[in-house]
Amino acid sequence: MGKSRQDRSAMVAVAGNGLLDRRALLGRGIMVAGAMGAGSAGALTGAAAEPLAEAPWSLMPGEGTPPYGHPSRFEKAVVRTVDNPNNEPSGSRARTPHHLLRGTITPNGLHFTIMHAGIPDIDPAQHKLVIHGMVRQPLVFDLDALSRYRLVTRVGFLECGGNSAPLFSNRPVQAGVQALHGLASCAEWAGVPLATLLDEAGLAPGARWLIAEGADAPHLSRSVPLSKAMDDAMVALYQNGERIQPGQGYPMRLYLPGYEGNMNVKFLRRIQVTDRPGMTYFESKIYTDPLPDGKDTQFYFVQEVKSFITSPSPGLALEEPGVYEISGVAYSGNGRIAKVLVSADGGKSWAEAALDEPRLPKAFTRFRMAWRWDGGPAVLQSRAWDEAGNAQPTREQFVARRGETSKPASVLGFAGHHFNAITSWAVSAKGEVRHVYA
């Protein structure tokens, strides 16, 4: 296919500073595929390719096949960043490398995880889940028993309530999308609807909450409204088709679609049905925040509508002017993503991004926008809306409601929680990408 067959309209600018009609990404692949393949606009500028030759690996048989597959040795950089590699006696966090991933499913080994006292080495044959409290009959389930139930499957994101916390800083923290937004991931979860198990135990009149507890060393506990438990909560056993990983709560975790990560209790061993919340440590001190009006947040269950651009982003420099794809993820704990707008001029003008199907509720949705970088300064932003009508706030709107620090914050700190405002990436004339407030 030659340039002459391209639909000229696909190259039409739809917003300022080079945003192109989204048809530029659909079915007219030569322009974008060429640009992507060369990491630049090489195919469009007409530079000749080298003559082709056989490579060494094409001239001999390859390696044997391992029982469990791993990424190519050339993909060593595609790993989580781990902030407590020596397992010092404190918490540990591993962040997802969004800038090196595409699609919407996070590979299991790259799913973010936070541990408050290490990962327990649980023998699944000895693990038990007890349901008690305000129920007709307290019951104990083991993994074999739960595996005989009708398992439900759903794709959904998980996000730490503290994801994006560096953006509470009064000055933009210089870090990439992994450091800033790496405490969110998306997977396919399969498990037993919690409502099924609660029905079997029999809810007593007056039951309104449950307190879920893990089998890890802190015996981590969180209170969950019974309405959520009976709606779409599950006791998850599988993650992307295999047993959930130890860092995700092997052999079973609570999964509450769209709700704050910490509530999705890992290593789930106990559910006590109650008439009120327990006011546990994590819902009293940790996942609560001072507000500008002097009050403090509490029970901030929902991870609200949010998006961020994963490419280009800091660390992924643009090599030369030309056509690029702006790509990122959007999600909402309130349902499906309805639309995502992208700006290349710091919010002065916006154009609607293409959304990859399937758009599932409470799951990552990948958005894409064609962009011709002219080599000048640009500020890239994305802004998402969910099907419930919620708009991702601008940073200015967010700070007015939630506040910011009075001095620059640490990239590893958690000044606040539930940050979901717009992220801005500034592209310099050299093609370097930095985090800015715009």
Partner 1 sequence: MSTRERTLAIGALALAIAAGAAGSAALAAESPHLGRPISQADLSAWDINILPDGRNLPPGRGTAAEGAAIFAEKCALCHGDNGRGGHAARLIGGPAKASLDGGKTIANYWPYATTLFDFIRRAMPFTQPRSLTDHEVYALVAYLLAENKLIDASEAMDAATLPQVRMPNRDNFVPQFPDRM
Q: Which residue's CB is nearer to partner 1, number 17 or number 223?
A: 223
What value does the CA radius of gyration of the chain take, rounded to a whole number of Å? 24
Question: Is 238 one of the binding residues for partner 1 (CB under 8 A)?
Answer: no
418 φψ region: left (φ > 0), alpha (ψ -120 to 50), beta (else): left
Q: Which residue's CB is nearer to partner 1, number 46 or number 89?
A: 89
Residues 110-129 that bind partner 1 (CB under 8 A): 116-117
d(CA 345, CA 193): 46
Question: Is 46 one of the binding residues for partner 1 (CB under 8 A)?
Answer: no
Site string for partner 1, 244-283 (x = CB under 8 A): -------------------------xx-x-x-xxxxxx--
Binding piece for partner 1, criterion CB under 8 A, among 52-60, 66-74, 197-205, 314-322: 197-205
Instruction: Return the closest-CA partner of residue 159 out of 180, 142, 135.
Output: 180
Q: Let me know if 249 is exposed, middle or buried by CB neighbors in 10 A (0-12, 13-18, 19+).
A: buried
Q: Which residue's CB is nearer to partner 1, number 45 or number 298?
A: 298
Binding piece for partner 1, criterion CB under 8 A, among 24-32, 225-233, 351-359, 427-435: 225-233
Q: Which residue's CB is nearer to partner 1, number 116 or number 359?
A: 116
Instruction: Return the closest-CA partner of residue 184 out of 223, 224, 156.
Output: 156
What would the two tokens of residue 147 be?
A: 């595996």
Interface pick for partner 1 out of 19, 114, 197, 326 (rule CB under 8 A): 197
Strand ranges of the sheet holding 351-352, from the earlier edge strand across to the other edge: 351-352, 337-343, 378-386, 424-427, 433-436
Question: Is 296 one of the binding residues for partner 1 (CB under 8 A)?
Answer: yes
Supply the minimum distance, in Å, between the C-beta of residue 416 and partner 1.
5
Long-range contacts of 394-398 (CB under 8 A, 24+ apart): 394/347, 394/421, 394/422, 395/167, 395/421, 395/422, 395/424, 395/437, 397/421
Instruction: Return the closest-CA partner of residue 438 out of 344, 371, 368, 306.
Output: 344
Supply the minimum distance, in Å, between the C-beta of residue 295 and partner 1.
5
| Chain positions contacting partner 1, by CB under 8 A | 88-90, 116-117, 130-132, 137-141, 145-146, 148-150, 168, 196-197, 199-201, 208, 211, 213, 217-221, 225, 227-228, 269-270, 272, 274, 276-281, 284-285, 288-291, 294-302, 403-407, 415-416
